[in-house]
C-alpha cells in the first residue's frame, strides 16, 4: 500500500528491475569486474526523497551476454510491473553495451503512459567514483515524474534523458556514453528536478515478444571495400530469416551484394538496408551497385533507424508472423 506525502497526495512508487551490467559489477582482488550485486544492494546506497522504491532481481549479467530470450524476459517483467495500479513507473538497471537494443524493444511494445527508464554505469560499483548511484537516483526521479509520462521507454544517464529510438552508445568509456542520432537528449535531470524539453513521437505499439522471438535469427553484414556475399549467404544458411546490410555512405554496396539481394529476396529472405555511418539516414541515391539498385532488387530501407535497432525490429516482426513489406517497416522506422 502506498503512503502519502505531507500534503496528502499519494507518493510515487517506482519498481527497479535489476538485470546486471557495470552498475552491479564488482571485482575480486586482482580479477575482472563481474555483475553480482542485487537490486537491494543497488538501492541500499542511494536516497530517493519522497519516492517509494522497491527492487526486483531478474538476472545479473553483463549486457554483452544477453540474447533474445533475456530481452523477452525483461519486456515481460516491465509489462507486469507497469500493469500494477500502485506503480508510477519502472526503472531497469542494465549494462550499457546493449542498452540501446533493450530500450528500443521496450519502446516498441510499451502500452500506456507510465515511464520506463533504463540506466546503468560506466564505472563498476566497487570503484570509489562509481557513477551508478547517481544514475540510479536520477532514473528513479524520471520514472516518478509526471512530465515523463507518455514518452515511452527512455535512457537516463549522467543527467541527460534520451528517447529510446535512435539512441546509440557512441563512446566506450566516457561518463556520458549515449548519443541520439540526428538529435539530442529530450530532457535533463538537475538539482531542480526532471525537465522534459522534447516529447518523442511514437508509433502504435507492437505486440510483446513471444517465445518465437527467442530463436528468430536476424544477422548484420557490414559492407566494406572488397566485400562479397559470402557472409550474407552464410547467415542465410545458418537460419537467418532476415539480414541487415550496414551499407557504406547513404546505403550502398556493390555488384556482388546486389546479385545476392536479388537471390535472397526471391528465396524469401528479408533484406534491410542500413548504413555503417554513425549519423544520418539511408537515402538511396546511387546506381551501379549503389542504394537505388539495392532497393530495386528488393532491399528495404530502414530510414534513419540505427542498424542494431533495425535488426531488433525485424526480429520482433518476423517472430510474430508479420509480412515485412516496405509499408510494414515504414510504420515503425
- Residues acting as catalytic residues: 22
Please report the DSSP string for 256-294 in residue order. Answer: HHHHHHHHHHHTT-EEEEEESSSSS-------TTSHHHH
Bridge partners of 124, per DSSP, are none
Contact (Cβ atoms closer than 8 angstroms) between residue 124 and residue 173:
no
CA distances from 98 to 51, 149, 152, 196 (A): 28, 24, 18, 24
Nearest to 162 by CA among 177, 145, 173, 175: 177
Beta bridge partners of 20: 61
DSSP category for residue 214: G
Across-strand partners of 327? none
What is the distance between the terminal CA atoms of the chain, rounded to a whole angstrom? 40
Amino acid at each position: 500500500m502506498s503512503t502519502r506525502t505531507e500534503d496528502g497526495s499519494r507518493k510515487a512508487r517506482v519498481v527497479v528491475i535489476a538485470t546486471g551490467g557495470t552498475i552491479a559489477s564488482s571485482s575480486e582482488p586482482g580479477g575482472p569486474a563481474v555483475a553480482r550485486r542485487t537490486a537491494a544492494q543497488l538501492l541500499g546506497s542511494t536516497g530517493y526523497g519522497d519516492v517509494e522504491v522497491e527492487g526486483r532481481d531478474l538476472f545479473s549479467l553483463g549486457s554483452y551476454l544477453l540474447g533474445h530470450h533475456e530481452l523477452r524476459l525483461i519486456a515481460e517483467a516491465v509489462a507486469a510491473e507497469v500493469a500494477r495500479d500502485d506503480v508510477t513507473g519502472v526503472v531497469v538497471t542494465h549494462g550499457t553495451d546493449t542498452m540501446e537494443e533493450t530500450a528500443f524493444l521496450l519502446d516498441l511494445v510499451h502500452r500506456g503512459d507510465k515511464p520506463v527508464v533504463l540506466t546503468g554505469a560506466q564505472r563498476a560499483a566497487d570503484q570509489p567514483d562509481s557513477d551508478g548511484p547517481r544514475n540510479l537516483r536520477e532514473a528513479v526521479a524520471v520514472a516518478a515524474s509526471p512530465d515523463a509520462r507518455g514518452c515511452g521507454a527512455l535512457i537516463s544517464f549522467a543527467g541527460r534523458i534520451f528517447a529510446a529510438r535512435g539512441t546509440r552508445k557512441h563512446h566506450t568509456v566516457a561518463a556520458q556514453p549515449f548519443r541520439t542520432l540526428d538529435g539530442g537528449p529530450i530532457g535533463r535531470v538537475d538539482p531542480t528536478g526532471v525537465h522534459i524539453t522534447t516529447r518523442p513521437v511514437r508509433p502504435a505499439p507492437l505486440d510483446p515478444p513471444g517465445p518465437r522471438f527467442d530463436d528468430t535469427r536476424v544477422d548484420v553484414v557490414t559492407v566494406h571495400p572488397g566485400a562479397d556475399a559470402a557472409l550474407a549467404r552464410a547467415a542465410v544458411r545458418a537460419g537467418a530469416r532476415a539480414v541487415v546490410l550496414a551499407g557504406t555512405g547513404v546505403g550502398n554496396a556493390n555488384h556482388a551484394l546486389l546479385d545476392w539481394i536479388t537471390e535472397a529476396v526471391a528465396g524469401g529472405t528479408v533484406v534491410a538496408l542500413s548504413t555503417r555511418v554513425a549519423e544520418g539516414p539511408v537515402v538511396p541515391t546511387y546506381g551501379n551497385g549503389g542504394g537505388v539498385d539495392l532497393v530495386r532488387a528488393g532491399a528495404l530501407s530502414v530510414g534513419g533507424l540505427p542498424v542494431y535497432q533495425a535488426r531488433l525490429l525485424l526480429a520482433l516482426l518476423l517472430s510474430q508472423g508479420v509480412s515485412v513489406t516496405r509499408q510494414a517497416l515504414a510504420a515503425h522506422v
